[in-house]
Structure 1
Amino acid sequence: MESQNSSTGQKNEADQTPRELPILDEKDKSQENSDHVPLPSTSQQEAETRHTLATEPFQPILKVLADLESDDPKFAFPAARLVGLYRRLWESCVSKHIDGQKLEQENMVLKEADTNLRQKRDGLQTRHDKQLSRLRFFEQALELSRERLVGVLDDWNHSSRLNLAGLSDNARER
């Protein structure tokens, strides 16, 4: 009876262990054979990269665990759980690392865009400043021309009054 329970427990452990230990050699081969498939989208590529970086270091360990399962199933199950925990931790680290790199790249793009926008702003500010200085120059030149024109008109008006006054004096004398 006890042997039935232990063999049943071993079967349960054996049944659970392969689910915990997926060996990805078959997936890797199928991905290598599918070279004619169109390029996946960036999110798909990112997911594949994450998956590859997260599982690749564990392939040798998974093979050893598969061998261990056939040799000593009682020891293989706890070892597989431990490897599974480390694998999840590693996946988390890989994910954070990839996210950090992605943010770094996006930050670089934003910095370049910021630099370009600052250069454009500086160029527009310089252009604006030049236009303002030209406007001030034209305003000063217009004011000077107006003053001269007013001076000429005053002189002409004054001399014409004198001429008119002289003509009227000449007309009275006659």
Structure 2
Amino acid sequence: MDASNSSPDQEREGEQQLSALPIVCEKDNSQEASDHTPMLSPSQQEAETRHTLVTEPFQPILKVLADLERDDPKFAFPAARLVGLYRRLWESCLSKHIDGQKLEQSNQILKEASTHLSKTRDGLQLRHDKQLSRLRFFEQALESSRGPLIRVLDDWDHPCRLNLPGFLDNAREE
């Protein structure tokens, strides 16, 4: 790309790109991080971290571009544009990488929760199976004792019928 063929609008765009790429001093960055960290929400901290990770590798290049803009403004525009494209590409890759890591962490948490729920389900199924086994045992015990119990209750309900001749003999003797 030839810098001499660029229009004034493109030159202004290049200057805007240079100004849009902030030069962050290491002292200022550490001071800002310590000043703002306690007040930021987790999403704001994440955005700040992303911004730092995106801009940090380009700090030396931005300093060189600032020097180049003072020395050769015509050459600074295409260089700034190229750096801006690389920075957007880097930001995209970094963002995708961070999102992928968050997804892996979420997936791991879900796997652990699934494992815990499976263990809980298996424990509950085992308790259910034990209760069914006990219920069957009690049903069998009730079934085996039902016949004798019915006979005892029938005998208790109709004592006269079974022992009527003996009862009449006893009643006459008195």
TM class by shorter-chain length?
Answer: 0.7 to 0.9
SS at match of 2:142: helix
Distance in 1 of aligned mates of 2:138 and 2:162: 35
Distance in 2 of aligned mates of 1:126 and 1:110: 24
Distance in 1 of aligned mates of 2:27 and 2:143: 85
The residue identity in structure 1 corresponding to 2:30 is E
Deviation at 1:150, TM superposition (A): 3.1
Is contact 1:23-1:63 (8 Å) kept? no
Gaps of 5+ in 1: 1-5
**Identity rate, percent:** 70
Distance in 2 of aligned mates of 1:16 and 1:90: 20
Deviation at 1:153, TM superposition (A): 5.7
Match of 2:93 in 1: 93
Match of 1:124 in 2: 124
Distance in 1 of aligned mates of 2:88 and 2:170: 119
Match of 1:78 in 2: 78
Match of 1:106 in 2: 106
> Could you say if the C-alpha distance between residues 73 and 149 of structure 1 is closer, same or farther in structure 2, counting changes exceeding 3 Å?
same
Distance in 2 of aligned mates of 1:141 and 1:98: 64
Deviation at 1:156, TM superposition (A): 8.2
Match of 1:3 in 2: none
Match of 2:22 in 1: 23
> Could you say if the C-alpha distance between residues 70 and 98 of structure 1 is closer, same or farther in structure 2, counting changes exceeding 3 Å?
same
> Could you say if the C-alpha distance between residues 88 and 152 of structure 1 is closer, same or farther in structure 2, counting changes exceeding 3 Å?
same
Distance in 2 of aligned mates of 1:45 and 1:57: 19
> Could you say if the C-alpha distance between residues 23 and 156 of structure 1 is closer, same or farther in structure 2, counting changes exceeding 3 Å?
closer
Q: Deviations over 1:153-172 (max 9, x none)?
A: 6788999756424666999x
Deviation at 1:151, TM superposition (A): 4.5
Deviation at 1:88, TM superposition (A): 0.7
Q: Deviations over 1:63-116 (max 9, x none)?
A: 111122222222111111111111111111111111111111111111111111
SS at match of 2:121: helix
Aligned residues, how many? Answer: 163
Distance in 2 of aligned mates of 1:157 and 1:165: 17
> Could you say if the C-alpha distance between residues 16 and 169 of structure 1 is closer, same or farther in structure 2, counting changes exceeding 3 Å?
closer
Distance in 2 of aligned mates of 1:33 and 1:166: 111
Distance in 1 of aligned mates of 2:49 and 2:157: 91
- Compute the TM-score of the two structures, normalised by the length of structure 1: 0.76
